[in-house]
Structure 1
Amino acid sequence: MTSLLTTFSTTAETSADMLPCHDLDAADLFFSERPAELEQAKRLCADCPLIEECRQGALERSEPWGVWGGAIFQDGSIIAVKRGRGRPRKHPLPAEDPARDAA
């Protein structure tokens, strides 16, 4: 199995220990079904030294899903946010009344 590290030309200082996606405790976040966990994975990517190469590689491979290079992929394309499972509300929640809160 080829690791992400071997896919890109890296400097000697870059090692798997520096990549957030290689942290066994966080690995499941990058392919979660929960939008909040995907947002957490995107935050972990923010300081990654390979963020641009990772995102570009995922676009070239048309990755079907997951967080790659700080972006959420679905069906080979980048999406802004992932919707949660289930059906959306038929009726929006009532708006808060600021006058009521001030009383």
Structure 2
Amino acid sequence: MTSPPCTQSPELFFAEHPAALAKARELCAACPLAADCLAGALERSEPYGVWGGQIVVDGVIVASKRGRGRPRKSEAA
């Protein structure tokens, strides 16, 4: 077996930019270790990153990651 994609470009799996996270998720989709990777990340409550093809924030799967900084005014109200 070749090494998993996360070992070839690890910074991609912890990126802030949505396009980079989408690329990481795409690479995970073909990985035979994806299910075990995700299960382990959820068990450990990983703080952030792409694990098993899913974006994890604070140990929970999220649909997308919000960028750093202040929330939009509409969200703050």
Q: Which one of the candidate residues 5, 10, 13 is aligned to 1:30?
A: 13
Q: Are the structure 2 counterparts of residues 40 and 89 from structure 1 closer, same or farther at C-alpha, using a change threshold of 3 Å? A: farther
Unmatched tracts of structure 1, length 5 or more: 1-13, 91-103
Relative contact order, higher structure (CA 8 A, sep 6+): 2
Unmatched tracts of structure 2, length 5 or more: none
Q: Which has the larger radius of gyration?
A: 1
For normalisation by structure 1, the TM-score amounts to 0.64
Runs of 4+ in structure 1 deviating by more than 3 angstroms, as ranges, are none
Give the aligned length.
Answer: 73
Q: Which one of the candidate residues 38, 44, 51 is aligned to 1:68?
A: 51
Q: CA deviation at 1:15?
A: 4.3
The correspondence of residues 1-103 of structure 1 with structure 2, limited to 5 A, is: 14-16=1-3, 19-23=4-8, 26-86=9-69, 87-88=71-72
Deviations 1:22-59 (A, max 9, x none): 11xx2211001112111110001010010100000101
Q: CA deviation at 1:85?
A: 3.2
Indicate the structure with greater helix content: 2
Q: CA deviation at 1:89?
A: 6.2
For normalisation by structure 2, the TM-score amounts to 0.83
CA distance in structure 2 between the aligned counterparts of 1:84 and 1:64, rounded to whole angstroms: 15
The Cα RMSD (Å) is 1.5
